[in-house]
Chains A and B, each alone.
Chain A
Amino acid sequence: MTWSEMQPLLTQGTYDTLYMVLWSTLVTVLGGLPIGILLVLTDKGGLLQNQPLNKVLGVIVNIGRSLPFIILLIFLIPVTTAVVGTFIGPTAMIVPLAIGALPFFARLVETAVREVDHGLIEAVESMGGGIPTLVGKVLLPQALPSLVAGVTTTVITLVGYSAMAGAVGGEGLGSKAITYGFQRFETGFMVATVVVLIVLVTVIQLLGDGVVRLLARRGRTA
């Protein structure tokens, strides 16, 4: 395989991967944030203390996290078909990707929010602030650097998951690597895919770290 043959495949693969990863990240963040916050608030001593709800959420999240993604991918085929109309192609893959990463991200949110100093919660309560104030003005802004770090980790996990999705009808770099690198023994192409993936993950990590550093610097220097 020559470079001119590989190049369009790699470009298309990268594009599909980014498409799947970014959309599923969006869904994951939108879904995982409230679940993570709810996990903290409904916990013992929390402002919305509700042990049964907390337990149920915890169990659901744990089930989601204990299934290997490749199994989840197959298991969710009926759900994907119901939502998107097909279980093949990059758009269809957003469903299992988001569902697979959501519990993971929810736990990261939980940890980040739990780290917010309890004194701040008390201070806002003493001012007469309610739950929306607490979440919107204290928990989220204070946890923002950790949350961004969590998003970075989630995006990288999703890049990995999206490669697996290639095995079950998805598109993207994973699918290309399986088709050309594995099934056709095109070692050169395999290496090229690996390089692209490494670059992709590195860029994502650097971007995430940069944002975290920017946020953490608030107030440290003038």
Chain B
Amino acid sequence: MAVTRGFHGRRAADPSRVPPGQYVTRDFPVLSAGPTPYPQLDTWEFTIRGAVDKPVSWSWTDFQALPREQFTVDIHCVTKWTKLDVTWSGVSLDTLLAAVPTEAPYAVAFSDGGYTTNIPLADLRRGKAWIVDEYDGRPLDPEHGGPARLLVPHLYFWKSAKWIRGLDLRTADQPGFWEMFGYHNYGDPWKEQRYYGD
């Protein structure tokens, strides 16, 4: 390991909560590949489709009627920032997936604006993922993915697709937008899986 001359650095407040190579920020930086979309709520739908017997869609009104959870988690962005104790509210993917029997092992999340990201379906089950529409007690801002985004806090934040419109369930894995550009296919921050081959 080559020491950088003259560098001392700061130390993470709590290494058990800050993955390797990450630093803690109090801001909530925004990273998006294109303009922020502003979908109309009256035509918004969340759809689970693909390797299922029958696709299922929820309108915004349907979605709002589902059981909600409020929870606080840490989020880790591949661009190196980590934000601790972020409070969200939304619907567990367990609730949504319960309506759609499937044997498919993979999912591709798809969003307004054309963004996609792939996640093993097991990572979306058992209390590990949500569709959130509130951040810090308020409706999620469009620039942070509102009206609703995926939240998969145990993976790097690019997996938590903004402006989500649904899941395409698949029998075979299909790399999404950043995964096609050389980012890691799975993205575990604790294993520092930032890029292909990490």
Do A and B actually bind? Answer: no
